[in-house]
């Protein structure tokens, strides 16, 4: 997985970002991303899943094989492009949300645009009432999975509510142990304030996973990723998860959220009522801030290319969706993907 970049290329970017002065350095780059793929359902109607009829040929959407494969091809096209400006092999790791089952992921990784990357899959069925799950895709030549498990959403104040599992995948990235936690926290259905306790409960689960890893190794390299349905400044993210936006304000075991500054600049991953939110976060532990110890954080971005946006109308500039109501738009997703670069000197 050694994709090397000579100093005259990567160093220029480093000088812009971190004011590092160095010569004749080469860096290995790993691109880590997250993408809410917007209701990636197959066409088979499973009566045990609440949304399944909606994504079936008999529904008002008239969902069929053409629409399903169009969605897959569009997603694969986007995934194929992310990160390639610095990492020729593109995304090493990709967390995804809103997938129905393992089968749709197997169909996705076989699409022409990304089939040569040989993405492997970590997926578990969750008890979510909508029938959607999270998962992790990874390039097996670059990352070796050593363990995976799921943690159930737990809210003692509302035991009747079910949500997505939180997926922990641990493994080795070019000789270094690293952990990925993939999330899709409860939505804002019913309003942001009324639903906030659900996301705080989800954040407590995520924080528990992080703390369990840091108890074993205080320098553990951890990436928390997901559609959190809250912005970097909201209570669930900033206070409960303890994901801070400024390194100088971090205390022991706080996490660093590189999406914070993007959000403050008005950059979002989805739009609602003419406001931009940045729900799709990649958050890192302090072990990934140490430039002297292998892989460390370099840069965070939102992948929001023009071809993924509505070109005209009231929602010009918004992410181009697959459906609006029962109307098929043939777009990509209602979210833009987000990604970070990890680099290490070699």
- Report domain extents, the chain: 4-345
The two three-digit tokens of residue 265, written as one number = 């600049």
Residue range 64-82: mean pLDDT, rounded = 98
The two three-digit tokens of residue 186, written as one number = 């409860």
**Assessment of whether the complete model's pTM goes beyond 0.85:** yes
Per-residue pLDDT tens for 234-292? 999 999 999 999 999 899 999 999 999 999 999 999 999 889 999 999 999 999 999 88
Per-residue pLDDT tens for 123-163? 999 998 888 999 999 999 999 999 999 999 988 778 878 89
Q: Rounded to 5, what percent of the chain is helix, strand, coil?
A: 25, 30, 45
Which secondary-structure segment (H or E) carries 113? none
Alpha-carbon distance values, 220 to 119, 207, 299 (Å): 25, 14, 19
Note whether 222 and 206 are within 8 A (CB): no
Per-residue pLDDT tens for 291-331? 888 999 999 999 999 999 999 999 999 999 999 999 999 99
DSSP codes joined into one string, 273-286: TTEEE--EEEEE-G
With a cut of 90, say whether residue 50 has pLDDT above it.
Answer: no
Return the higher-pLDDT residue of 228 and 19: 228
For the domain covering 4-345, report its CATH number.
3.60.10.10
What rounded mean pLDDT belongs to the chain? 91
**Phi, psi angles (nearest 5°) of residue 122:** -120, 120
């Amino acid at each position: 997985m050694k994709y090397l970049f000579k100093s005259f290329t990567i160093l220029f970017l480093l000088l812009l970002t971190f004011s590092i002065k160095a010569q004749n350095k080469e860096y290995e780059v790993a691109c880590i991303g997250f993408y809410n793929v917007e209701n990636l359902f197959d066409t088979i109607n499973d009566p045990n899943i609440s949304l399944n009829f909606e994504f079936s040929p008999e529904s008002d959407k008239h969902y069929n094989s053409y629409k399903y494969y169009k969605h897959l091809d569009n997603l694969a096209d986007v995934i194929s492009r992310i990160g390639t400006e610095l990492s020729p092999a593109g995304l090493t790791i990709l967390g995804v949300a809103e997938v129905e089952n393992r089968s749709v992921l197997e169909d996705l990784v076989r699409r022409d645009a990304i089939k040569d990357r040989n993405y492997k899959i970590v997926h578990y069925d969750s008890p979510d009432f909508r029938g959607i799950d999270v998962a992790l895709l990874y390039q097996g030549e670059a990352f070796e999975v050593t363990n995976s498990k799921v943690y159930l959403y737990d809210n003692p104040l509302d035991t009747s509510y079910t949500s997505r599992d939180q997926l922990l995948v641990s493994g080795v990235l070019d000789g270094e142990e690293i952990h990925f936690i993939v999330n899709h926290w409860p939505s804002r259905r019913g309003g942001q304030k009324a639903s906030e306790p659900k996301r705080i409960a989800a954040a407590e689960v995520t924080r528990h996973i992080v703390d369990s890893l840091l108890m074993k190794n205080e320098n553990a390299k951890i990436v928390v990723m997901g559609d959190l349905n809250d912005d970097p400044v909201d209570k669930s993210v900033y206070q409960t998860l303890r994901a801070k936006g400024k390194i100088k304000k971090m205390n022991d075991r706080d996490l660093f959220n590189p999406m914070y500054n993007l959000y403050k600049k008005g950059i979002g991953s989805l739009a609602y009522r003419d406001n931009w939110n940045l729900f799709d976060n990649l958050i890192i532990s302090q072990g990934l801030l140490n430039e002297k110890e292998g892989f460390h954080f370099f840069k965070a971005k939102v992948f929001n290319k023009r071809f993924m946006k509505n070109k005209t109308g009231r929602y010009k500039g918004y992410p181009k969706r697959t459906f609006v109501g029962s109307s098929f738009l043939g777009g990509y997703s209602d979210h833009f993907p987000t990604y970070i670069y990890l680099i290490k000197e070699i």
